Structure 1
Amino acid sequence: MNIVLINPPHTAIGSRVPDDHLPPLGLLAIGGPLIDSGHQVRLVDAEFGPMPLPALVDEALSGDPDFILIGHSGSTSAHPTSLRIAEMIKVRARQVIVIYGGVFPTYHWRDILAATDVFDFIVRGEGEATATALVEAIEMRQPVASVAGIAYRDDLGRPVATQPAMTLADLDAWRVGWELIDHRRYSYWGGKRAVVMQFSRGCPHLCNYCGQRGFWTRWRHRDPVSFAKEIVWLHREHGVELINLADENPTSSKKAWRAFLDAMIAENVPVLIVGSTRADDIVRDADILHLYRKAGVIRWLLGMENTDEETLSLIRKGGSTKSDREAIRLLRRHGILSMATWVAGFEDETLRDLWRGFRQLIAYDPDQIQALYVTPHRWTPFFRIAADRKVIQKDVRLWDYKHQVLHMTRLKPWVLFFAVKLIEVAVQSRPKALARILFHPDPEQRHSMRWYTKMGRRVWFREVWGFLARDRRVADGPTLAEFWGAPQDAEEESMTVRPPARKPVAPVIEGQRLSESRRLAG
């Protein structure tokens, strides 16, 4: 079959400002198994440019594809664009089967299928096995109800879903379709040829705001030696210089992570590694941190979320401000950059809370910070906690963590926004940070900090301009539950770790309010 994978152009500021672009790992991970099953597959990556939607549709429909698969890593904020692309495709080629996948459609499948008929199928959860099985079932004219992990409309037009798919037990059994991209076009870290990879999927921790943990259902990892060899192959065959790990928590198993570090050190290739992990894992690994840097790890993003212990308890982060501070100190001692994520916008925060958070960030002394805003997902336990909060940002394209979306009790949006912008400037321009940017003895670290500072400056001014001139907020919006629907945390796990039953389960009919459907359709 002739299959096209579409990576929609993203509206997030971080996607538009940098000169670097990273390949869409999720689509490549699905493309590999489809190629191995004998299908003709190509990728249309509209992030470059970005590509105008009419040109994107022209490119996608050239060659008369049988299937078009749409997916994006920022699937909530990318949904309106994905929907528009599907609508344009169906206007011109109604016969093309459009399949939609990602975190957002995995959980919002009822709303999406009730609101529009431009998506023929939705893949729920991991897509490698499910998408391949779905294409095969359609090609062989077999009942699609036998395919686990999909949603679609039945003969009466009602949204239905098959039983959840099983998580992939052996991640090494499914290869990434690296041949779908021209590696020369993709870069990161200031022009270094780069790709996105996953050593592991999922996270064993119980942070109640996380939209990824339930999607992956359980934590699993690649074979450490095989993963290292794939990195070496990418370096030698395609000149890849940097690996951006997309894992939520690659260091969960010290044994597995140590085996990967040892394998990378043995291969002795000049590849840099960046990613995110937990501060307490860094503290745990104090005795082997010298191996991190030797294996190529140059920066960790530490998901600290907040500097207030009560807030950390509310969101069940499981860490502590003490371990956060110690992790940054340990990373610096071993020549690894630290980026601290800091989340604002919790309901009862005051200027005094923000001031205390700023002082603690200064005390942490991270090399870089990333300020984000509380962004709840309907399938997480935190959504239930925040369900009665008012929505001030109704444009779903701005639900990208870089825009305030929920009303606060004590701070107006403009006060929170400019407080966060001032905190970013103050933390990034403090004397210690400037000294490292200008005089760090490691030229690689100096290059990376200067690149991040240059990019951050461009994003900062773009965000300020957007807040003042472009973005629109509402004063008295709907509650979070009214905007997105009832809490869905009972369905947080998108897949099952048990083998599916031999006999397919009959699809479950799910109703949905028409008002919600119209709202989702935009």
Structure 2
Amino acid sequence: MRILLVNVPHPAIGSLIPSDHLPPLGLLAIGGPLIDDGHDVRLLDAEFGPTSTAQIVGQARDFRPDAVLFGHSGSTSGHPVIAEVAQAIAHAIPGTRIVYGGVFPTYHWREILDAEPYVTAIVRGEGEETARRLMTALADGDDLAGVHGIAYRRAGQACATPPAVVIGDLDAYRIGWELIDHARYSYWGGLRAVVVQFSRGCPHLCSYCGQRGFWTRWRHRDPVLFAKELARLHREQGVRVVNFADENPTVSKKVWQTFLEALIAEEVDLILVGSTRADDIVRDANILHLYKQAGWDRFLLGLENTDDATLALIRKGAATPTDREAIRLLRRHGILSMATWVVGFVEETDRDHWRGLRQLLSYDPDQIQMLYATPHRWTPYFGQAAERRVITTDRRHWDYKHQVLANRNMPPWRVLLWFKFTELVLQARPKAMFRTFFERRGRLRHAMQWYTRIGRRVWPYEIWQFLRARHLKTGPTVGEFWGDGQVVDENAMATSRQRRQLPNQSAA
């Protein structure tokens, strides 16, 4: 089959502002196995430009695909764009099968199949093996009921097949790196870059995150083989920056140390960036020198909040002394810390914002990433926020960078003021400015300055977008807008046996 993988242009601010672009790992992960099965596969990355819908349709028509596969890491906020482009392609190329995968369609498959007749099937959960079997069934004209892990229409009604078997060996499916021109993708200020995934899932119970439910359990690549792959990308493709897509790659200290030592042995000059938990950093205090030797330059630490009651509400399982110690340890080893701070888990007051700002200053992170609480139906947090009002029904704004929840204690404009004021104080405080311009290690100084340049563009752009947006004074509740919560289906891709082994996860 001729298969076209489409990465649509995402409306998120992070996609619109930077001049750097990272490759769409999810689609490349599907592309490798499909190529190995003998399909003629092409990637259309519409993030460049960005490419208009008309241009995407034109390029698709030129390729004449038998199937067009969509998927996007942006998930909820990316869905309106995918729906528009998929419909346009379906109308322009009659008979083309439209297949859609990712987190959002995994859980919203009923609504999508009911509202979007041009969608042939939805891949639910991880897609490497499922996509292969689905493409084979479509090519051979087989009954889709035999393909586990999908949703489709049977006799005009949306239905789902049993969950696919969770992939045990992540090394059994290769990434289709040949689908991209590595010279077009960069990060860290023009350095050739890729996105990779060492592990999938997360064992922690944070109520706002869907990682555990989507991936069902934490698994990892072979650490030595993974190190060799990164080294090969550096030597053969000139890759300098490796961005880890993992939520929590450091879960197993033993496995992680094996990876670090294997990568150090490869003797390649890589810059590694990614996310992890503060408690893992503190746990690994005695091997942080290996982190640095392997190439780690920045970790995004999901602190989320510093209020103990809020941390308990979202089941973060974190402690403020641990968060502070993790930042101190990273700085001692020459690794930048970017602290994430989420506004809106609860309906904060001015006093709450002021207290949070003071605590963040005491943490002294190198960088700050401010986000807004965004309840998705498949997470327990959705149940906690179900009765709160929505201030925007534009689903493109459900991207963690726009306010979507009302606050009874203050209007949206005042929430924005605290949000931007906190960013300004953290990024422009003397300590941060000194590190940005006078850090003695040139590699870290470059990273700080690169991020600062992006921030100078994003900061006013977010304000401008807020002023242009229409905010509802009395919007629907979260439950009214999205429908019933899906906490029961949070682990929808687990088998019945796996579900019995998962911890109890009520929405309360």
Cα offset, 1:495, TM superposition:
2.0
Q: Report the equivalent of 1:225.
A: 224
Equivalent residue pairs, number: 498
Equivalents in 1 of 2:483, 2:434: separation in Å? 49
Supply the AA of the counterpart residue of 1:10.
H
Listed as ranges, the matches of 1:33-48 within 5 Å are: 33-48=33-48
Q: Report the equivalent of 1:308.
A: 307
Cα offset, 1:409, TM superposition:
1.7
Structure with bigger RCO (C-alpha 8 Å, 6+ apart): 1
Which of 462, 483, 486 is residue 485 of structure 1 equivalent to? 483
Q: Report the equivalent of 1:139.
A: 139
SS in 2 for 1:175: coil
Equivalents in 1 of 2:230, 2:346: separation in Å? 43
C-alpha distance after superposition, 1:431-485 (max 9, x if no partner): 10011011101100000000000001100010011111x2111111111111111
SS in 1 for 2:77: helix
Q: Report the equivalent of 2:501.
A: none
Q: Report the equivalent of 1:271.
A: 270
Cα offset, 1:52, TM superposition:
0.8
Supply the AA of the counterpart residue of 1:76.
T
Equivalents in 2 of 1:168, 1:498: separation in Å? 16
Equivalents in 2 of 1:185, 1:167: separation in Å? 33
Structure 2 CA distance for partners of 1:341 and 1:248, relative to 1, 3 Å: same
Supply the AA of the counterpart residue of 2:188.
W
Q: Report the equivalent of 2:16.
A: 16
**Preserved contact between residue 6 and residue 60 of structure 1 (Cα < 8 Å):** no
Equivalents in 2 of 1:433, 1:211: separation in Å? 33
Q: Which runs of 4+ in 1 moved over 4 A?
A: 497-500
Q: Report the equivalent of 1:207.
A: 206
Q: Report the equivalent of 2:100.
A: 100
Structure 2 CA distance for partners of 1:499 and 1:139, relative to 1, 3 Å: farther
Listed as ranges, the matches of 1:493-512 within 5 Å are: 493-496=491-494
Listed as ranges, the matches of 1:151-230 within 5 Å are: 151-155=151-155, 157-230=156-229
1:253 aligns with 2:252: yes
SS in 2 for 1:301: strand
Cα offset, 1:494, TM superposition:
3.4
Q: Report the equivalent of 1:67.
A: 67
Q: Report the equivalent of 2:396.
A: 397
TM-score between the two structures when normalised by the length of structure 1: 0.94
Q: Report the equivalent of 1:462.
A: 461
Equivalents in 2 of 1:150, 1:497: separation in Å? 14
**Preserved contact between residue 35 and residue 41 of structure 2 (Cα < 8 Å):** yes
C-alpha distance after superposition, 1:379-410 (max 9, x if no partner): 11111111111111110001110011011120
Equivalents in 1 of 2:495, 2:345: separation in Å? 34
1:112 aligns with 2:109: no
C-alpha distance after superposition, 1:301-321 (max 9, x if no partner): 000111111100000000111
Equivalents in 2 of 1:246, 1:494: separation in Å? 22
**Preserved contact between residue 275 and residue 302 of structure 2 (Cα < 8 Å):** yes
Supply the AA of the counterpart residue of 2:489.
E
Supply the AA of the counterpart residue of 2:427.
Q
Equivalents in 1 of 2:485, 2:60: separation in Å? 36
Q: Report the equivalent of 2:356.
A: 357
C-alpha distance after superposition, 1:123-145 (max 9, x if no partner): 00001000110000111222110
Q: Report the equivalent of 1:281.
A: 280
Cα offset, 1:497, TM superposition:
5.7
- CA root-mean-square deviation: 1.0
Listed as ranges, the matches of 1:400-439 within 5 Å are: 400-439=399-438
Structure 1 stretch 345-354 or stretch 379-388: which is displaced more?
A: 345-354
Percent identity over the alignment is: 62
Cα offset, 1:167, TM superposition:
1.1
Q: Report the equivalent of 1:122.
A: 122
- Gaps of at least 5 residues in structure 1 are 501-522
Cα offset, 1:103, TM superposition:
0.3
Equivalents in 1 of 2:376, 2:497: separation in Å? 28
Q: Report the equivalent of 1:515.
A: none
Q: Report the equivalent of 2:506.
A: none
Supply the AA of the counterpart residue of 1:466.
Q
Supply the AA of the counterpart residue of 1:306.
N
Q: Report the equivalent of 1:518.
A: none
TM-score between the two structures when normalised by the length of structure 2: 0.97
**Preserved contact between residue 163 and residue 495 of structure 2 (Cα < 8 Å):** no
Supply the AA of the counterpart residue of 1:406.
L
**Preserved contact between residue 57 and residue 92 of structure 2 (Cα < 8 Å):** no
Equivalents in 2 of 1:166, 1:445: separation in Å? 43
Equivalents in 1 of 2:38, 2:243: separation in Å? 29
Cα offset, 1:499, TM superposition:
9.1
SS in 2 for 1:6: strand
- Gaps of at least 5 residues in structure 2 are 499-508
